[in-house]
Amino acid sequence: MAALGARMAAEDAMGGGLPEKVRLKAEGRGSGDGAEVLGELRRRLGTGGLFGGGSLMVVAGAGRLGRTKDLRANLTDTLVNMAPGNGVVLVDQRARRPNLKGMRPDGPGEL
């Protein structure tokens, strides 16, 4: 995160400095939480930094932002219309572990 923020600041032609780091969480089972997170993401990314280096948004649970067709369309629109000087990191950690035995059933060794 720090390296990405420093790189954004180094590439900033306006010389605005380090971006503001904001963390968001897409939680819950319904699409309402995803819509709220997308609204906040759109609000912050739609404008560039006035006196600083923009925003670096980190969204945890980003897989929830693609649950419905409307959420996917809104996420795409938000990313396409992002103002210069801003950045987004989408993180999705699955609770379930992958089925490694199913991927390599005849392989040597033990999983």
Q: What is the pLDDT along the chain (111 residues), one digit of tens a residue?
A: 566 655 655 555 445 667 778 888 887 655 557 888 899 999 888 877 666 678 888 888 888 888 888 988 998 898 888 888 888 888 887 665 555 555 544 544 444
Q: What is the three-class DSSP state of 25? A: strand
Q: What are phi and psi of 40, to 5 degrees?
A: -65, -40
Q: What are phi and psi of 71, to 5 degrees?
A: -65, -40
| pTM (two decimals) | 0.66
Q: What is the pLDDT of residue 101?
A: 56
